[in-house]
Amino acid sequence: MLRSNLRPVVLLAALASLGLAPVPKPKEKPDPAKEELKKLQGKWELVSCSLGRQRLKVRPGEEGDVYKGDQLTTFNGGEAVTRWTVTLDPTKSPKQMDKKGKDGALLLAIYRLEGDTLTVCYKNEQGAKGRPADFTPGKGVGVEVLRRKKR
């Protein structure tokens, strides 16, 4: 009789101890923006540039971008000419890039990363609102194609 009375107590004690067991912490999902920004890190050489429908002359090896963390520095002739803080949203289609200048200027762009080729498209007009819908050069739209520099 004592044995049958202890069975429910032992069962309850076992169940209660399960409730006190540590619960494994759920794995955090990686932040897509941070993962994408990691892919941009390093030096990029400008290989082509269009403003409007006009293709600009590019000097190979003299123009490009360097991504370090969320900072982007644009170089021309070996000199830093522009510094930006970059925010990405790779969940949008096309992917979005916001560049904020040290002076507060904001450049809203779209980008495409295919292997070692980065294409960035932006509106190139003072005070332009919004961002381009696609990568087609047109009035007031700049398109830059950069290639990752090999070490």
CATH number at residue 94: 2.40.128
Segments forming the whole domain that contains residue 82:
32-148
State how far the Cα of 46 lies from the Cα of 59, in Å rounded to an integer: 8
Is 72:83 a contact under the CB 8 Å cutoff?
yes
Q: Is residue 13 assigned to a domain?
A: no
Number of domains composing the chain: 1
pTM of the model: 0.80
Report the mean per-residue pLDDT for the chain.
87
Q: Is residue 16 assigned to a domain?
A: no
Q: Is residue 72 assigned to a domain?
A: yes
Q: Is residue 104 assigned to a domain?
A: yes
Is 88:33 a contact under the CB 8 Å cutoff?
yes
102-134 pLDDT, tens digit per residue, is 888 889 999 999 999 999 999 987 667 889 999
| Triad 44, 46, 50: Cα angle to 5° | 140
Q: Is residue 26 assigned to a domain?
A: no
Q: Is residue 97 assigned to a domain?
A: yes
